[in-house]
Structure 1
Amino acid sequence: MMTKLIVKIVIWFGLMGVLLFGSAGTIAWTAAWLWLLEWAACGVWIGLWLAREDPGLLAERLAPLAQREQQAWDRVFMLCVSVGFCAWLCLMGIDAVRMSWSRVPLWLSVLGAVAIFVDIYATRAVFAANRYAAPVVKIQRERGHTVSDSGPYGYVRHPMYGFALLFLVGTPLMLGSWWGLACVPFMVVGLGYRAVREEETLAENLPGYRAYLDRVRYRFVPGVW
């Protein structure tokens, strides 16, 4: 399984590198190298931790983004997310380097890198609390799927999405793109749409989830939404 993890990280590293440096028109982009290295290093770290603590969840996290048990609407959503994410990276390469439209202060870029790390670190707490945190929306009956309501799930229904807001803001800041940051509100709306549809699926098919919705009011950020 670790071989599969390393292969997937290498492929991801290569694809994201092609998109970033190809759109920038140069490989002399320090911020992009640091962004890629941060994600690769953290991906290996989380993968090693999951391999030790929860191999079943690691297998789920390494599964394809289109699966037979997955909700049909989620297949379409994940396709749109994949295309949109690639376009987002290209936009930031064009903005920050090729055309040099944006000028983000160094301290904000550093803050962006910190936000990304906090997101990844906090996501480990999500995995610790929810061994069914698959990347797709489905009911994992073969794994004895139950409601997760401990840890961060005791405060918000979708803590991984909530922490992902740090990544969405941190990435354009780290890469130095105001245009990339301008896209974030639309991406947050997309996450909100998925959260609502995911809750509908779980409430209909997962025993105890409706009661969980009554207990935990907020989806992403306590006191906000």
Structure 2
Amino acid sequence: MNNLNIRALRSSLLGTATMAALLFIPAGTLDYWQAWLFMAVFVVATTAITVYLAMKDPKLLERRMRAGPTAEKEPAQKIIMFFAMTGFLALLIFPALDHRFAWSPVPTYLSFAGDALIAVGFFLVFIVLKVNTYGASTIQIAEDQVVISTGPYALVRHPMYCGALPLLIGIPLALDSWWGLFVLVLVVPAIMWRLLDEEKFLQKNLEGYADYCQKVRYHLVPFIW
């Protein structure tokens, strides 16, 4: 096992342990089947994508592993990622608290539907990663980077963020919380801010991206915005 794979495995194990703490400590119990099922879906999906990238595109895996506010080079993106990560943490912690105190429980079938949305979201992200080997977790330009305009990029400028939307909607439902959906009020604006700032960066630094934006009208959701 090479160094990259070891780092990916270590990151996966640490991420899983952190997620478990963020869910079960606020919930105050391990008797929380919604959280167990959510973690199973999340871990299986992220592991499958990681294994695929390790085998087929290790350079992209390396790019994906550099993430978070400290990894960003652009000052605005450091701020954006701070809010985005805070929102994601809230998407885990608040539903767990909601489950503990039964503020707004959801029917069992909706918890399953939430997990299905998460799986769909990861599948869409996987499709994007197969098409775009430059899909780093940070805003950057690779040495040999070109504009990707095929596949999902022919529909929207940011298909990875588009794929993340069903995933984010599914999390609070999967974790037994109606009110958790309100956390999206914090997360979605951060995503919109990030992609608009990213477009400015790419138009300035990536040859052909301005022309691409003229051809592909929608930023995030086809036929809407």
| TM-score normalised according to structure 2 size | 0.94
Query: What is the match of residue 137 of structure 1?
Result: 139
The runs of at least 4 consecutive aligned structure 1 residues that moved more than 3 Å come to 66-69
Query: What is the match of residue 216 of structure 1?
Result: 216
Q: Is the 8 A contact 1:202 1:209 kept in 2?
A: yes
Letter in 1 for 2:11: K
Match of 2:56 among 32, 53, 57: 53
Query: What is the match of residue 181 of structure 1?
Result: 181
- Bigger drift between 166-175 and 56-65 goes to 56-65
Distance in structure 2 (CA, Å) of the matches to 1:15 and 1:137 = 25
Partner of 1:28, secondary structure, is: coil
Aligned-residue CA RMSD in angstroms?
A: 1.4
Query: What is the match of residue 194 of structure 1?
Result: 194
Query: What is the match of residue 153 of structure 1?
Result: 153
Distance in structure 1 (CA, Å) of the matches to 2:165 and 2:172 = 12
Partner of 1:217, secondary structure, is: coil
Q: Is the 8 A contact 2:80 2:193 kept in 1?
A: no
Letter in 1 for 2:214: D
Q: Is the 8 A contact 1:2 1:51 kept in 2?
A: yes
Q: Is the 8 A contact 2:111 2:175 kept in 1?
A: yes
| Alignment CA distance shift 1:201-1:8 (3 Å) | same
**Pair 1:124 & 2:126 matched:** yes
Distance in structure 1 (CA, Å) of the matches to 2:25 and 2:210 = 47
Q: Is the 8 A contact 1:69 1:139 kept in 2?
A: no
Partner of 1:183, secondary structure, is: helix
Q: CA deviation at 1:186?
A: 3.2
Letter in 2 for 1:132: Y
Query: What is the match of residue 92 of structure 1?
Result: 95
Q: Is the 8 A contact 1:57 1:131 kept in 2?
A: yes
Distance in structure 2 (CA, Å) of the matches to 1:114 and 1:212 = 33
Query: What is the match of residue 5 of structure 1?
Result: 8
Q: CA deviation at 1:70?
A: 2.2
Gap regions ≥5 residues in structure 1: none
| TM-score normalised according to structure 1 size | 0.94
Distance in structure 1 (CA, Å) of the matches to 2:23 and 2:70 = 28
| Alignment CA distance shift 1:199-1:20 (3 Å) | same
Distance in structure 2 (CA, Å) of the matches to 1:64 and 1:126 = 18
Cα deviations by residue, 1:5-63 (Å, 9 ceiling, x for unpaired): 12111111111111111111111111111111211111111111111221100111112
| Alignment CA distance shift 1:68-1:21 (3 Å) | closer
Letter in 1 for 2:195: A
**Pair 1:17 & 2:20 matched:** yes
Distance in structure 2 (CA, Å) of the matches to 1:191 and 1:151 = 21
Distance in structure 1 (CA, Å) of the matches to 2:116 and 2:72 = 36
Query: What is the number of equivalent residue pairs in this alignment?
Result: 222
| Alignment CA distance shift 1:69-1:14 (3 Å) | closer
Query: What is the match of residue 106 of structure 1?
Result: 108
Identity of aligned residues (%): 35
1:48-87 mapped onto 2 (5 Å cutoff): 48-66=51-69, 70-87=73-90
Q: Is the 8 A contact 1:2 1:47 kept in 2?
A: no
| Alignment CA distance shift 1:68-1:101 (3 Å) | closer
